[in-house]
Amino acid sequence: MCLFSYFAVLCRKIVPFKLADIGEGIKEVNVKEWYVNVGDHVKQFDSICQVQSDKASVTITSRYDGVISKLYYEVDDVAQVGDPLVDIETDKDTEETHRPDESDDSSSSSSSSSEDEKSQPQVLKQKVLATPAVRKIAMENSIKLSDVAGTGKDGRVLKEDIMRHIQGGAPPAATPVATPTPVAVPTPAAVPAPTPARISPIPVVPAVSIPIGKDKTEPIKGVRKAMVKSMTEANSVPLFGYCDEIDVTKLVFLRESAKAVTAATGMKFSYMPFIIKATSMALHQFPILNASVDKECENITYLAAHNIGIAMDTIEGLIVPNVKNVQSLSVYEIAAELNRLHALGLEGKLSTADMTGGTFSLSNIGAIGGTYAKPVVLPPQVAIGALGKFQVLPRFDEEGNVKKTHIMNVSWSADHRVIEGATMARFSNVWKAYLENPATMTIHLR
Ligand code: CAO
């Protein structure tokens, strides 16, 4: 060994790089994806790995320059806060320049895709970009990710790309990413004549690979483990259920116009932004439904912000991010925020802030199918609504003639310890009135 390398070895030190406290009382996380391998050189702020807690997905970034000498976990393993994630062989200089305001723990950043892409080390840029969930689908279907045309940011392979690959389709032309920029409203003549809403086909879900004739037991992890906890807690709440049918014919036509107006931005404009806004407007009259109760149900807090949680079906399981301060947002702003949450949710990249602080929830199970449901309130919230699918059905008009109508069913559940059935029914009537005559929502516009 030459004198220089001998000296270099002497100066190097192996530092166990620990998983820092992520906050929100999170004690453990699932390791979702490694961005480094043993032998890789990392710099401060380079991404080390992606971890998933029951609240959010977080990118762990390095605090040192050095060489990775050990990974403590495999993908899908559970890592405890405070335990080492990796060993990094650092040199003395690096150690002295590391971020001064932190202990020896790892640093974490709530992920936003753009930040992630910037901070990912060179090794990541050379491989096919995809979330672990997408990799799993590819593996289960014996598909090489490099054979799939990725339509996500920087060529990231999305779930839709895999599905399309399975079905043998070509990738669609690139669509611009939705941003909440103001839209030039076209003249009435430019808006195409309204047509009835189209219900999207149910996507093909790839089969979970279970060997034929053999049982398979696996640990419940990540988002599904969080569901075990939250639903067990929810089960202690006595629920009151209330259902109704809403004539959404006018809303269907309004949505078509909104879609036409915003089509140029590439933003998806579903029924949800109107439904979310109508919920907030009805909550104004029933603040007890936008409230939280303490564990023993001794106190109720009426909440100022209408942070409406939206149940989202993702490959990792059910998540409920929330649109914050709906009371101050326009329908357009709600649509933009919903687009952002939906995109991040499908990528498993929602931040802790997006996932916490919800005050009331909606579950659009009708996007998948069905009419009525039995939603479960998410404590400490006190109410939730489930929406059925929009259906074209015959109904009678005021003269007794049969007319073609768009119908959506709603199923409310409320914490019956603090919410009376009559309150839920009155709230539902106000909400229904807004949705059946969406023009009435505009009289509250500022
Ligand atoms: N009936 C008919 N069509 C519906 C619909 C409904 N209830 N809800 C949505 N659609 C339509 C949309 O309008 C859209 O149509 P276009 O392509 O013409 O624009 C299409 O279906 C796709 O909508 P979307 O699902 O992408 O968007 P969304 O804003 O309506 O819903 C979300 C977003 C996240 C709520 C939904 O995708 C989802 O995940 N729903 C499932 C929720 C769930 O699992 N609940 C159960 C919780 S308890 O386990």
The strand pair at 383-387 and 360-363 is best described as parallel
User: Domain span at residue 402?
Assistant: 238-444
Same domain, 17 and 145: no
Nearest CA to ligand 1 atom 45: 365
Looking at residue 28, what is its pLDDT? 85
Looking at residue 160, what is its pLDDT? 79
Residue 359 CA, ligand 1 centroid: distance in Å: 21
Same domain, 284 and 352: yes
Looking at residue 278, what is its pLDDT? 98
Same domain, 389 and 341: yes
Residue 434 CA, ligand 1 centroid: distance in Å: 20
CATH at 255:
3.30.559.10
Residue 178 counted as domain residue: no
Looking at residue 203, what is its pLDDT? 53
Residue 117 CA, ligand 1 centroid: distance in Å: 28
Looking at residue 417, what is its pLDDT? 98
Residue 173 counted as domain residue: no
What are the mean pLDDT values of the chain's consecutive 10-residue runs (446 residues total)?
A: 49 84 78 91 89 80 91 90 92 51 46 38 50 71 79 78 74 45 43 51 58 87 89 95 98 95 90 98 98 96 98 92 97 96 92 95 97 97 98 97 98 98 98 97 81
Residue 389 CA, ligand 1 centroid: distance in Å: 9
Q: Ligand 1 pocket, 392 CB below 6 A?
A: no
Q: Ligand 1 pocket, 365 CB below 6 A?
A: yes
Same domain, 249 and 336: yes
Q: Ligand 1 pocket, 231 CB below 6 A?
A: no
Tell me the C-alpha distance between 76 and 68, whole Å.
Answer: 20
CATH at 143:
4.10.320.10
- Number of domain units in the chain: 3
Q: What angle do CA 197, 203, 209 make, to 5 degrees?
A: 165
Q: Ligand 1 pocket, 28 CB below 6 A?
A: no
Residue 328 counted as domain residue: yes
Q: Does the annotation count 306 as an active-site position? A: no
* 8 A C-beta contact, residue 75 and residue 54: no
Q: Ligand 1 pocket, 164 CB below 6 A?
A: no
* 41, 342, 406, 416: the active-site residue: 416
Assessment of whether the complete model's pTM goes beyond 0.75? no
Looking at residue 119, what is its pLDDT? 36
With tokens 């008009």, the residue in question is: 397
Looking at residue 156, what is its pLDDT? 79
Q: Residue 338 CA: which ligand 1 atom is closest?
A: 29
Looking at residue 179, what is its pLDDT? 41
> What φ, ψ does residue 279 adopt, rounded to 5°?
-65, -50
With tokens 């401060």, the residue in question is: 44
Looking at residue 415, what is its pLDDT? 98
Nearest CA to ligand 1 atom 20: 200
Burial level of 51, CB count in 10 A (0-12/13-18/19+)?
A: buried
Residue 196 counted as domain residue: no
Q: Ligand 1 pocket, 367 CB below 6 A?
A: yes
First and final CA of the chain: distance in angstroms?
A: 76
Cα 250 to Cα 269, 433, 437, 440: the distances in Å are 16, 11, 7, 11
> What φ, ψ does residue 395 adopt, rounded to 5°?
-140, 165
Same domain, 273 and 319: yes
Tell me the C-alpha distance between 283 and 84, whole Å.
Answer: 46
Looking at residue 11, what is its pLDDT? 57
